[in-house]
Amino acid sequence: AVMCVSDLSAFGALMECLRRGIRVPDDVAIAGFGAYDLAEQSVPSITTIDVGAHEIGIRVAELVLDLLNGRREPDDRVVVGMTPKVIARHTA
């Protein structure tokens, strides 16, 4: 099994396996990270981990606005929680 740092690198691993005649997921399972559109659109589609990057981005933007508007101090500790979700597709 191969767990890649991103869906883009998982796509590269998938293409190399196909080029070499390695059957995915029969011979090797591949998973990516990030839930990129590429993972859904590739053939076969890539299993991925979705961490809610869009929601995290919104929360970070809100925090920056709070800093700029004086509603938060620069050294305030903030934890932005995330709940990763496995999106099982055809590569694993």
Is a pLDDT exceeding 90 seen at residue 16? yes
Give me the domain span that covers residue 54.
Answer: 2-87
Q: Which tens digit of pLDDT belongs to each residue from 25-65? A: 999 999 999 999 999 999 999 999 999 988 889 999 999 99
Total tally of structural domains belonging to the chain = 1
Q: Say if 92 falls within a structural domain.
A: no
Structure tokens given for 57 = 């981005």
CA distances from 74 to 26, 53, 60, 92 (A): 51, 23, 13, 43
Residue 28 pLDDT: 98
Q: Say if 42 falls within a structural domain.
A: yes
DSSP assigned state of 80: -
The reported pTM is 0.79
